[in-house]
Amino acid sequence: MEELYLALPDFMNETIDRYIESIGKPVPVRKIELKQGTISFIGDTHGALDVTAFAMAKENASDLTCFVGDLVDRGKRQLFNLLYILEIALISNKVIIVRGNHESTLTNDVYGFIDELRNFGILEEVYPHILRLYGKLPYALHVSTGIIAVHGGIPRSGIDLTEWDALPMDDLEPSNPMAFEIMWNDPREFVDGFLPGTRGEGTFFFGPDVYDRFAERNKIKLFVRAHEVKKAGYENYFNNRLVSIFSSRYHKGKAAILRVNVEFPEKNQIEMIPELLPGEDWLPWPHP
């Protein structure tokens, strides 16, 4: 089946292009007016198509599903994870993809996605379309009731969300430092202000004081982010006002989904994705 599809890179490009078209005018912060209902957040999947498929079935009742970046690199089925999410976003019209640091030219060469495309023999044909997609993905999802989702965290400059609206799109690395930090920064309980991170040049940790300033200024009640491996699949920070969610198989930790009632963002729920049985590639379909 996979081989049949692979014979037709044009079909894949069509999926990618249709998704780009469906985004409309690309914006750095995707704003959603939603007064009631449920949003499901899925963290880094990194090619864990079994997690993505299970999560989409399990969270079928949600009004919106947000993938908080890092769909490709590292895992087993990176391209198909991306294409599946794009297709289901087009079909359901209730999926939002926020850009992660692996939706970038900086990482794909090192962490496996380029290799996967090259092994399929479709790198030159398909990757340009994927790069075009990266440049159109929003850096953040902002829900009117005070929920924000980004891949990494709060940047040093840009404590006011209105500043984010001016971020340039089609920035493939991105080279804009604010955009870069939104995708790379990490929260830490015992840091004051910002501290240079341990992931490398240009990355920072932000502490609870930064969170407080940001949350107060932008009326944020819940901050959702991904980006870091969590053995339990998730971790709460800053008195449960920030949730770090992780949904991949590659790092051997547990995969989790965050479900949020938009009226009461502080009362969010964690849904664990079952472990794969030894030797199995897929999870049994969830029963409602």
Partner 1 sequence: MSWFCTKCGSENDEGEMTCVVCGSGKIGVVETPESVKVIDQQPSNPPEAKIEEVVPEAPKVQSSPPTHGVLETGTEESSYLEIQFVQSPLDEIIGKKVKLNLSIFPSVSVGRSPENVLQIPDPSVSRMHGKFLLEGKDFYFEDVGSANGSYIFDGSKFNEAKEKTKVEEKTLIKLGEGTIVKITSLKSL
Residues 6-35 that bind partner 1 (CB under 8 A): none
Q: Based on CB atoms, which residue is closest to partner 1, 136 or 254?
A: 254
Cα–chain center distance at 121? 27
Nearest residue (CB) to partner 1, 142 versus 188: 188
Q: Which is nearer to partner 1, 93 or 198 (CB)?
A: 198
Cis peptide before 174 (omega within 30 of 0): yes
Q: Say whether residue 202 binds partner 1 (CB under 8 A).
A: no
Q: Are 28 and 164 in contact (CB under 8 A)?
A: yes
Q: How many CA atoms lie within 13 A of 233 on its CB side?
A: 19
Taking the C-alpha atoms of residue 120 and residue 240, their distance in angstroms, rounded to an integer, is 43
The region of 33-41, 49-57, 192-200, 255-263 touching partner 1 under the rule CB under 8 A is: 192-200
CA distance 100 to 73: 11
Provide the minimum distance between the beta carbon of 156 and partner 1 in the complex, in angstroms, as a whole number: 10
Angle at 23 between CA 114 and CA 55, to 5 degrees: 65
Burial of 25 (0-12, 13-18, 19+ CB in 10 A): exposed
Rank residues 106 and 229 by Cβ distance to partner 1 and give the closer one: 229
Distance CA 15, CA 85 (A): 10
Strands (E) in the chain, as ranges, are: 29-32, 38-42, 64-67, 95-97, 140-143, 147-150, 186-187, 194-196, 204-206, 222-225, 234-237, 242-245, 256-261, 269-272
CB closer to partner 1, 199 vs 213? 199
The mark string for 223-262 relative to partner 1 (x by CB under 8 A, - otherwise) is ------xxx---x--------------xxxx---------
Report the residue from 14, 165, 170, 189 that binds partner 1 according to the rule CB under 8 A: 189
x/- map, 139-178, partner 1, by CB under 8 A: ----------------------------------------
Size of residue set near partner 1 by CB under 8 A: 16
Instruction: List interacting residues with partner 1 (CB under 8 A).
Output: 188-191, 195-196, 198, 205, 229-231, 235, 250-253
